[in-house]
Amino acid sequence: MTTEPLRRWQDINPADAVNLNLTHDLAITAPINEVGERCPWPWDPQQLTAAPLGQYRCPYCMAMVVAGQQHLDYAEVAHPQVDADYLAEQDERARQELEWTEDHYNDLRA
C-alpha cells in the first residue's frame, strides 16, 4: 500500500529543511534525478541566487539543474502527461496521409 506524500518539498523553506533527508522521508515529495532516484536535499540549487544563471550539478543527487532555480524534477520531464485525444488525432492524421500517399502513388502509376 502506498501513501500520498503529506507535504511538497517546494513548500519548505531551505532553512527549515536543514535536517531533512528526502531519500528516507517519504511523507515529503522529492524531485527525481535522471536515473530515477529521489534527491535527498533539493534546496541547494535555489540558494545560489548570486551565481550566474546556468547549468549546475546538484551535489546531493548529481542531477543537472539550473543554478538559482528550484531543483528540476526529471519525473515530469521524462514522463509528461500526454492527452489521449491528441494521440488519437495524430493517429488519424497519419492514417489519412498514408491513404492520400497510396492513392496519389496509384494515380501516378495509372
Signed CA dihedral, 82, 78, 54, 14: sign only: positive
pLDDT per residue as tens digits for the range 19-46: 999 988 888 999 998 888 899 999 999 9
| pLDDT at residue 5, rounded to an integer | 66
Does 97 or 20 have the greater pLDDT score? Answer: 20
What's the whole-number average pLDDT of the chain? 83
29 contacts: CB under 8 Å, gap ≥ 6: 5, 7, 8, 9, 10, 22
Q: What is the pTM of this model?
A: 0.63
